[in-house]
Structure 1
Amino acid sequence: MSLRRLFAIVLKELRQMRRDRITLAMIVGIPVMQLVLFGYAINLNLRGLSTGIADQANSAASRAVVMDMVATGVIKPTVSATTPRELMERLRRGEISIGVVIPPDFERRRFEGREAVQILVDGSDTVVQSAAIQLAQLPLDPRPSSNTAPLKAGPGQGGGPVSVVTFYNPERRSAVNIVPGLIGVILTMTMVLFTGVAIVRERERGNMELLIATPVSRSELMIGKVLPYAAIGLIQTTVVLALGVWLFEVPIRGSVLDVYLAAVLLILANLTLGLLISTKAQSQFQAMQMTFFVFLPSILLSGFMFPFAGMPRVVQWLAEVLPLTHFLRLIRGVMLRGASLLELWPDVLALLAFTAVMMTLAISRFRKRLD
């Protein structure tokens, strides 16, 4: 072995790495991204959960109970309701994560030691369930009046003055929460990667010359690249759904058609993002590297692995740009809460807008030229 030749090869690799900007970005970007995400953006302690309040007693004591709950920082009142049915409807549509119900006879129930406060929880997110149970275990009113008994916390899931009622996943099975999200994770990983290398592969294999000689327009080429992978994405969705229902008994409470329509929205969003990547990457390896930069924030910030409500406000704004964030709200709303896509229209519009913007940018960047 010649040390001179070995040194020459090492020097050649370093020079090639220096010219590869994407590789250089990954050398520095990946540790920085993970440090920032895990150290700053990801927080397992939930704060500011959107909450609906139905204070039917409307007394000084009931308002004090609500204020004590808000003071914990776990909940943030965003909706006022008059009946528990209104709160349940808003839970189903995903507008709130927690509902607090104080009955009209709150004072008498409190004096008799019966159930006086009821906390309704969206159980499609198991982390929210845990936060609600902790909330119910707090001494909510340490300043009782002289003619009433103090309101102490009940034993978690019910049976005391403060009870927690969990909807959509009362058994707290993690599979019910994870399997619908896995559809989005798998589609994000595969769809972006497949199309990310599509145009690059044509260029590397020499097929681009043949496409240039044809009368196919840029729009026709891009859309033609997307459609076959859309069918593949639907097949993947079917496989995950079938295994989820068969192996893990994950319910599909909403329309199966809505499930597939939500999947189509995510598939199109990811495919157009992959096309945009393919117009920027110079090789298939670069396309895979750029896909990794998209996939890592998606899986960490979308609410799949870590609670969305625990992230700082700035990070939540960034997560709203990611298609997976909106898909998770859609798929969990349809499969677990029985909501329809029409009721979840803000996330539908977000995915449609993302697809339109990415497709426009991809078509505008693509040129039927080898240079």
Structure 2
Amino acid sequence: MNGRRLWAVVLKELRQMRRDRITLAMIVGIPVMQLILFGYAINLNLRGLSAAVADQSATSASRAAVMDMLATGVITPTAQADTPQELMELLRRGRISVGVLVPPDYERRRAEGREAIQVLVDGSDTVVQSAAIQLAQMPLDGTAYVAPRVQPISVVAFYNPERRSAVNIVPGLIGVILTMTMVLFTGVAIVRERERGNMELLIATPISRSELMVGKVLPYAAIGLIQTTVVLALGLTLFKVPIRGSALDVYLAAVLLILANLSLGLLISTKARSQFQAMQMTFFVFLPSILLSGFMFPFAGMPRIVQWFAELLPLTHFLRLIRGVMLRGAGLLELWPDMLALAVFTVVMMALAITRFRKRLD
């Protein structure tokens, strides 16, 4: 082995990596991204869970008890409710994660040492359910409680009382799989045409930029629906995951995510110069999506600025839609803010992709 020739090859590779901005960005960007995400953005100690309080007792003692619960920082009031039915409706629509119900006979229950407060939890997220149980384990030496060692709070979990992780994971897997495959498939679509020489044939045709882009999207949309069906079928048969809402709403939510991811993939394909670059850029999209969307780690535990960034990711909104429909039986129209977010994302990404694409080889 000749050392001079070996060094020449090493030097050539280093210069090539220096010219490849995507590879250079991955060398530095991936460690920085993971360090920031895992060290700063991801927090398993949940605080500030969205909540509503229905204080039907409205006494000084009941208000003191509620204030003690709010002082823990586990829950934060974000909606108003007066009855148990209103709390349940807010839970079903995903407006809150925790509902606190103080019954009219709170004073008597407290005097008798019985459970005086009910905490209603959206059990479709097992992490949120575990965090809400902390409220039932608070120190009970304050004036709002009966006496030490008496438990006045009961936690009632809905939608997943058995706390089966599959019930929470399987609906989210639909979004994760669609995000990974749809962005990757279309991310290499335009680049593949250039590398195989098919772009010359497309340039010679009268097809417009919009027609080419939409034509690229539609076949993969059908593939995405097939993947959705496979995950749903396996989830129902193997893990007994329920579909409490409309199956049509499930597929409509999947279509919204598919179109959003395909439009993002097309935008990536107009920027990448090779299929390998397209796959590299896809990784930069997939990593934040799976970590910040609420699939792996609780959304409520992230800092506010990270939550704002996560709102830009299609998977964040899809998880709210699919879990709301499948696990809580909500309708898509009740979850319209997330539908609107996915629709706007699709339009913006598709417009940018069409604007950037040029029917020429350079």
Say whether the fold is shared (TM-score over 0.5): yes
Taking structure 2 as the reference length, the TM-score comes to 0.99
> Is this contact kept in 1: 2:70–2:76, CA < 8 A?
yes
Structure 1 residue 314 and structure 2 residue 314: aligned?
Answer: no
2:81 & 2:287 partners in 1: Cα distance?
A: 39
Could you report, residue by residue, the CA deviation over 1:215-263 in whole angstroms, capped at 9, with x for unpaired residues? Answer: 0000000000000000000000000000000000000000000000000
**1:149 Cα offset (Å):** 3.3
2:241 & 2:295 partners in 1: Cα distance?
A: 16
Structure 1 residue 349 and structure 2 residue 340: aligned?
Answer: yes
2:67 & 2:61 partners in 1: Cα distance?
A: 10
SS of residue in 1 equivalent to 2:54:
strand
Structure 1 residue 74 and structure 2 residue 65: aligned?
Answer: no
Matched with 1:97 is: 97
Matched with 1:296 is: 287
Name the CA shift for 1:174/1:29 in 2 (closer, same or farther; >3 Å).
same
Matched with 1:33 is: 33
Matched with 2:324 is: 333
Counterpart of 2:318 in structure 1: which amino acid? F
2:226 & 2:140 partners in 1: Cα distance?
A: 50
1:140 & 1:38 partners in 2: Cα distance?
A: 34
**1:353 Cα offset (Å):** 0.2
Counterpart of 2:205 in structure 1: which amino acid? T
2:98 & 2:141 partners in 1: Cα distance?
A: 20
**1:279 Cα offset (Å):** 0.1
Counterpart of 1:8 in structure 2: which amino acid? A
Structure 1 residue 236 and structure 2 residue 227: aligned?
Answer: yes
* Structure 1 ranges of 4+ moved more than 4 A: none
Counterpart of 2:225 in structure 1: which amino acid? L
Matched with 2:238 is: 247
Structure 1 residue 149 and structure 2 residue 114: aligned?
Answer: no
SS of residue in 2 equivalent to 1:295:
helix
SS of residue in 1 equivalent to 2:115:
coil
SS of residue in 2 equivalent to 1:13:
helix
> Is this contact kept in 2: 1:68–1:140, CA < 8 A?
no
1:274 & 1:299 partners in 2: Cα distance?
A: 16
Matched with 1:258 is: 249
Taking structure 1 as the reference length, the TM-score comes to 0.96
**1:143 Cα offset (Å):** 2.0
**1:79 Cα offset (Å):** 1.6
SS of residue in 1 equivalent to 2:243:
coil
The counterpart of 1:223, out of the listed 214, 230, 249, is 214
Matched with 1:192 is: 183
**1:52 Cα offset (Å):** 0.7
Q: How many residue pairs end up in the alignment?
A: 362
Structure 1 residue 120 and structure 2 residue 120: aligned?
Answer: yes
Counterpart of 1:19 in structure 2: which amino acid? R
> Is this contact kept in 1: 2:113–2:150, CA < 8 A?
no
Unpaired stretches in structure 2, ≥5 consecutive residues: none
